[in-house]
Amino acid sequence: MADERLIAALDVHTMDDVKRLVTTLGDSVTYYKVGMELFYGVGAQVVTWLREQDKDVFLDLKLHDIPNTAAGGICSLMRLGATMLNVHASGGYAMMKTACDRMHAEAAELGVKCPKLIAVTVLTSINQDDWRDMGLALQIKSAVVRLSRLAQKAGLDGVVASAQEASLIREACGKDFLIVTPGIRPAGSDTHDQSRVATPTSALTDGATHLVIGRPIYAAADPKAAAEKIINEMEKVR
């Protein structure tokens, strides 16, 4: 009963933890997010192992550097076989376009399938007060839409954004643009360190294409039951 729109976050620490959780979830989940803590702790083996299990991988390392360095990093990560990679949109148009162009060129040269490349807009942990304290005058929603348009102009496949901005991004960027939304919490769940959150149903209704869900699954007493409950909720929106 897996739903390819669900990306389960592997916010764990070791390969043993990874294997235990993936085995527990079984066929209920086919797409996993590997973030900084796990990747920096265990390295590329986690991507290799997940691909061997026929799982899709969103390698969430949020590259942000000068254009040539970011492009080189993306090309190195592309060779690992992840399904989707990301950069920070705040790195600017030149960084995003250079990374995108170089990744596609190298994938073509190697004869491998090119992963999707998306851009982080504004982290879902940031609220309007945080944003103002950083000296940024635009409202968060306006900044997210502007960064989304910039990523699309640079040739990227989509963005990471709060579900609260999903409908605005969909209107601005069209129906084929990916909108990957973290900060998803089933009704009644604790928001923890997220500020701009949404339920699975509301996120999909507003235009999200993928939902990244971590703690509500991996911290549940029965992770597989928790994932399947979320999937049942997601199936209400197609």
Structure tokens at 32: 């996993």
Q: At what angle do helices 67-78 and 93-110 cross, to 10 degrees?
A: 30
In the beta sheet, which residues pair with residue 9? 33
CA neighbor of 160 nearest in space, from 127, 131, 125: 125
Active site residue 62: yes
Find the DSSP H helices in the chain: 15-25, 36-42, 45-52, 67-78, 93-110, 128-133, 140-153, 166-173, 200-205, 215-218, 223-234
DSSP structure string for 180-237: EE--B--TT---TT-SS-B-HHHHHHTT-SEEEE-HHHHTSSSHHHHHHHHHHHHTT-
Catalytic residue, chosen from 19, 33, 55, 62, is 62
CA distance 80 to 112: 11
CA neighbor of 38 nearest in space, from 17, 56, 21: 17
3-state secondary structure of 117: strand
CB environment 214-225: b (16+ within 10 A), e (fewer): bbbbbeeeebbe
Would you please indicate which residues are annotated as catalytic (active-site) residues?
62
